[in-house]
Amino acid sequence: MQGGGEQREMWGSRIGFILAAAGSAIGLGNIWRFPYVLGESGGFAFLVVYIFFVLFIGIPIMAAELAIGRGSGRNPVGAFRLLKAGTPWWLVGAMGILTGVIILSYYSVVAGWTLNYVIKAVATFDTAFATSETAEGTFNHFLSSSGQQVLFHFLFMILCIVVVSQGIKGGIERWSKILMPTLLVLLVLLIVRAVTLPGAGAGLAFLLQPDFTKLNLNVILTALGQAFYSLSLGMGAIITYGSYLNKKENLFSSATTIAGLDMGIALMAGLAIFPAVFAMGFEASSGPGLTYIVLPRVFAELPAGQILAIIFFVLLSIAALTSAISLLEVMVTFVTDELKWPRSRATIIMAAVAFVLGVPSALGFGVWSEITIFGQSFFDASDFITANVMLPLGGLFIALFVGWGWDIEKVKKEISMGHTTLRFFTVWIWILRIAAPIALLAIFISNIAA
């Protein structure tokens, strides 16, 4: 078996690793998806369930992925092959890599919209978002302009190549250390503006009012799925980042810090968005269009709205970039480990694969709108199969692997590095053995049946 263990690069510092992993977690899922899912699922009650799942399922699985990555020092396929040689467990890693390619393919399309909206916010803000009709028209027109869809998908992929080709420490870590603090500052600026608007209280009330009558099985499973997607779990991104981590770091505290940052940013995105949406008299439950139709309209009604719009779409582009590079890195680590390709070649070829796979998603809003897979567009089908089927399935197998498949003494040894005590070990292992598999099986089945 081959492995990249010999002269593998490592993260340069703990903070660099945490920011890179938080950068993977914090993405379109936090700022685009979380607010509208929360809006559609009834606000506070959803939030409580979401936080519960992050704490009791998300953090344990993140620690499990970190343990697999660091324990092996390999890509997801190589990791399972090394830790459990001669068994089919490596298929879990292979499915993860495939999931990553598919997610990256459509993620880059949405990220391309965001890049395009930075330009719109700068160049055509006054006309594009003057009324609700023009805002909707702007978005629909852009969606159906196939040339632009492909162009911005392409440009975004180039940004990913620039970062990933520079390596772990000189690329991903260095850029995360610049981009993540920038993201935080921009988000704080937006929050300050939003919560000081007259009428912002209704948005805050929406976020903070406990209405548990909205809770049903569907909302609970949506919260679990969102927690999982948001934390970048189930496909080997965290295994990959963990494989570059040194043995001194405490895995439980790393997982908790990363999840805490991810949850914090999702909540902050809610705080930036809902008070403004309510203050301007818009609906909270506007679905995926919330970001590209409602928010620009909200900004257009505010003093200095153009600047806020620019800030918002730059922020969203940054969030998308730091997540997309983790998706690309999974594939790049795989081929540099297994095929010993140089990083630059691996990066360009893997990005090209994801780009080509994303083209049907990009065209599905325009010239290829007739083509469907099981009645869904290519874009929706890619999102559905990955977020609702492959990620929970990957997470299920990762939990089962660490809980039952891997040797418990080896798991203990890996976790105890960087720890003085093993206080949470028993609780953790039983979550992985029983609770997490049941929860993940439940989302998987309900998503398939839906």
- Positions that interact with ligand PFF (CB under 6 A): 24-25, 27-30, 100, 103, 229-230, 232, 235, 237, 323, 326-327
Residue 426, amino acid: T
Contact yes or no for 39/407 (Cβ under 8 A): no
Q: Minimum Å distance from CB 96 to ligand PFF?
A: 8
Q: How far apart are CA 319 and CA 346, in angstroms?
A: 23
Nearest 10 degrees: Cα torsion 190, 191, 193, 195: 160
Alpha helices in 84-198 (DSSP H): 90-123, 125-128, 132-144, 146-164, 174-195
Residue nearest to ligand PFF (CB): 29
Question: Nearer Cβ to ligand PFF, position 92 or 237?
Answer: 237
Q: Minimum Å distance from CB 386 to ligand PFF?
A: 8
Question: Nearer Cβ to ligand PFF, position 30 or 388?
Answer: 30
Q: Minimum Å distance from CB 81 to ligand PFF?
A: 20
Q: What DSSP string runs through 145-173?
A: -HHHHHHHHHHHHHHHHHHHTT-IIIIII
Question: Nearer Cβ to ligand PFF, position 20 or 200?
Answer: 20
Q: Minimum Å distance from CB 392 to ligand PFF?
A: 12
Contact yes or no for 107/324 (Cβ under 8 A): yes
Q: Which residue has the tokens 């998706």?
A: 327
Q: How far apart are CA 170 and CA 330, in angstroms?
A: 17
Question: Nearer Cβ to ligand PFF, position 197 or 258?
Answer: 258
Q: How far apart are CA 311 and CA 241, in angstroms?
A: 29
> Which of 48, 46, 31, 300 lies closest to 191 in space, CA to CA?
31
Q: Minimum Å distance from CB 252 to ligand PFF?
A: 20
Burial of 213 per CB tally in 10 Å (0-12, 13-18, 19+) = exposed
Q: Minimum Å distance from CB 354 to ligand PFF?
A: 12
Contact yes or no for 173/9 (Cβ under 8 A): no
Question: Nearer Cβ to ligand PFF, position 135 or 381?
Answer: 381
Q: Give the contacts of 62 (CB within 8 A, at least 6 positions apart).
A: 231, 233, 238, 255, 258, 259
Q: Minimum Å distance from CB 299 to ligand PFF?
A: 22
Q: Minimum Å distance from CB 160 to ligand PFF?
A: 12
Question: Nearer Cβ to ligand PFF, position 100 or 225?
Answer: 100
Question: Nearer Cβ to ligand PFF, position 103 or 432?
Answer: 103
> Which of 265, 130, 278, 267 lies closest to 197 in space, CA to CA?
278
Rg for the chain, CA atoms, rounded: 21
Q: How far apart are CA 14 and CA 35, in angstroms?
A: 30
Question: Nearer Cβ to ligand PFF, position 29 or 305?
Answer: 29
Question: Nearer Cβ to ligand PFF, position 99 or 138?
Answer: 99
> Which of 172, 148, 174, 173 lies closest to 160 in space, CA to CA?
172
Q: Minimum Å distance from CB 108 to ligand PFF?
A: 11
Q: Minimum Å distance from CB 364 to ligand PFF?
A: 20
Q: How far apart are CA 37 and CA 269, in angstroms?
A: 12
Give the residues across from 373 on adjacent strands: 376
Question: Nearer Cβ to ligand PFF, position 105 or 326?
Answer: 326
Give the residues across from 376 on adjacent strands: 373
Question: Nearer Cβ to ligand PFF, position 111 or 197?
Answer: 111
Residue 352, amino acid: A
Q: Minimum Å distance from CB 357 to ligand PFF?
A: 16
